[in-house]
Structure 1
């Protein structure tokens, strides 16, 4: 399996499939690069080079106690891009991964990044504040931290309903989707799981969005109750120089079913545009 070793000794796993112009995918919390398996194949099949990594603490990467913050994640991504010498690069990020690719592109992407896709992205800020009343309240985020610390395995099981939208619309969450969320969550180091909540919810990316000059597609589920679009993508679109916002009716945070099929079509169309 391919790894790179970061300057601080952390080993970062990545998968690299296909040939052509590079597309790098960053996963959401509490997932790993496995969450992008379908997209990796479809992107490679379409004639691109699909690359996806496990953030530190996640999946097959080093189970780190320290460095579970957005700036460290961005530094790890920068080292991966430099090691592979990626240019003419499209970045795709889901949830927390969207925050990672936005900050990377804003701070390190000049001359390398040509376009970005965020899916259920956390930018500019997920946390509820006086100026962001539709965000997630701090006490709800604290409850997530407590649940992860108390019994992470059970939390990943309980998370499947709201994550995939099956607990509110009368839809069912498939056993495969639920089990795979649990499996990926169980491969997440507890310190990274706990600290990651702050990283994806309390990091303000307003200035990063304003700094982007490349085309950005903001994809968001209308029924995303993990990362509400009103607090994130619907604000992000007003900050971008070249942004397009696509809201998917009835779609949750997790990328599944009809939402996944529609999104994948849009990803391939965006890459070829």
Structure 2
């Protein structure tokens, strides 16, 4: 399996498919690059080079005790792009991966990024505060941490329901999606899964969004129960200078079904332009 070694000595697994201009994918918490398997094939089939890595502490990458924060994630992405000598890159991030690619493009891109695409992304900041009343209360994130430290195997199965919107009336249930969420979640180290909660909920990326000088496509499900749209995409669209916002009515946080079909069409159109 292919690996690169980051500047702090961490081994990151990645997959690399196709040829052409590069498109680099960053996954959400607590998943792995497997979450992008369909998009990797579609993008490679469309004539691009599709690359996706497992974030440190997740999937097949090294399980480190330190560095489970947005800035380190972004520097790891920089190291991957450097190691593969990629240029003219489109970076694509879902959820926490959206925060990762935004920080990377704003601070560490070194002129290599031409576009950014996010879906259900965490910026600008998820945590509720006096200056962010639309955010999510700290008690919700404390409950997530308690779930991770408790019966984590059952917690991933429980979390999969709102992640995919299966707790909503009329949404077709897929045991396969629940099982795959559990599988990927169980591959993450407990330290990484726990520490990443603070990373994705408390990192204020307002200045990252202001610093972006390339086009960004901001995709978000209208019924996202994990990263509510009011404190995320709607605010991001107001902050960035070259943003395109698209809300997918009734779509959840997890990318599947009709939502995935439409998102993939929009992604292919965005990277081809």
Would you say same fold, with TM above 0.5?
yes
Query: In the TM superposition, what whole-angstrom CA distance separates every residue of 1:106-163 from its partner, at most 9, and x where no partner exists?
Result: 0011410000000001000011112222211100000000111011111100011100
Distance in 2 (alpha carbons) for counterparts of 1:233 and 1:204:
14
Cα deviation for residue 74 of structure 1 reads: 1.1
Cα deviation for residue 170 of structure 1 reads: 3.1
Corresponding residue number in structure 2 for 1:157? 157
Query: In the TM superposition, what whole-angstrom CA distance separates every residue of 1:49-92 from its partner, at most 9, and x where no partner exists?
Result: 00000000000000111111111111111111111111100000
Corresponding residue number in structure 2 for 1:136? 136
Secondary structure at 1:238 match in 2: helix
Distance in 2 (alpha carbons) for counterparts of 1:22 and 1:70:
22
- 1:18 and 2:18 aligned: yes
Secondary structure at 2:87 match in 1: coil
Secondary structure at 2:131 match in 1: coil
Query: In the TM superposition, what whole-angstrom CA distance separates every residue of 1:178-228 from its partner, at most 9, and x where no partner exists?
Result: 000000000000000000011111000000000001000000000001001
Maintained 8 Å contact 2:75/2:108: no
* Structure 2: gaps of 5 or more residues: none
Corresponding residue number in structure 2 for 1:199? 199
Corresponding residue number in structure 2 for 1:71? 71
Corresponding residue number in structure 2 for 1:188? 188
- 1:220 and 2:220 aligned: yes
Maintained 8 Å contact 1:160/1:173: no
Corresponding residue number in structure 2 for 1:236? 236
Secondary structure at 2:239 match in 1: coil
RMSD across aligned positions (CA): 0.8
User: TM-score with structure 2 length normalisation?
Assistant: 0.98
Maintained 8 Å contact 1:56/1:64: yes
Distance in 1 (alpha carbons) for counterparts of 2:169 and 2:210:
35
Maintained 8 Å contact 1:63/1:189: yes
Corresponding residue number in structure 2 for 1:177? 177
Cα deviation for residue 176 of structure 1 reads: 0.9
Secondary structure at 1:237 match in 2: helix
Cα deviation for residue 9 of structure 1 reads: 2.1
Distance in 1 (alpha carbons) for counterparts of 2:208 and 2:169:
35
Secondary structure at 2:12 match in 1: strand
Aligned length: 273
Query: 4+ residue stretches of structure 1 with deviation over 4 A?
Result: none
Distance in 2 (alpha carbons) for counterparts of 1:173 and 1:148:
24
